[in-house]
Amino acid sequence: MSVPSPLRSESKLIAQMKTEEMLTHTLRITANENVFDPKYHVLADKINDLAISIGKDIWEANGIRVNNNPEHWRIRHGLQDRACRHFNDLLYLIGLAKKTYHLRSRKFYAWINKVTEARDYTRKWRDSDVSKYGHLGSD
């Protein structure tokens, strides 16, 4: 028997897929020298490093199977938390890039939307995991 669509839970892979979309979008934007002047490469490098770090954390967390193991839960939850914090740092840097590189509003908001969408799915995944495995951290 199938589960009615309103009762289905969202795929745990959506956070990873949205993060990868955000990451590739970020790398493409920052590689465009018509937009990101190479003389300000330090900011573009920080943006890329942070986006890659987020993608790596999500990838690693998704590969950890908790199986009621408190240590696995601690590591996975830590990676999810760090990714969520880094999403906020990334939003700050993108805002700084808008001012530094005079990004057009349309390009800026499309980029921000990709980051916030990935962040929101990651938060939902983390919150779902807390409901499922949070009891493992109370020992």
For the beta carbon of residue 50, count every other beta carbon within 10 angstroms: 18
CA distances from 48 to 22, 27, 60, 69, 90 (A): 11, 6, 18, 33, 9
Cβ 23 vs Cβ 51: under 8 Å? yes
Q: In angstroms, rounded to a whole number, what is the distance separating the alpha carbons of residues 19 and 122?
A: 8
Q: The tokens 């990838």 sit on which residue?
A: 59
Would you write out the chain's pLDDT as a tens digit for each of its 139 residues?
454 555 445 556 899 999 999 999 999 999 999 889 888 889 999 999 999 999 999 999 999 999 989 999 999 999 999 999 999 999 999 999 999 888 899 999 999 999 999 999 999 999 999 999 989 886 4
CA distances from 17 to 20, 23, 76, 123 (A): 5, 10, 17, 14
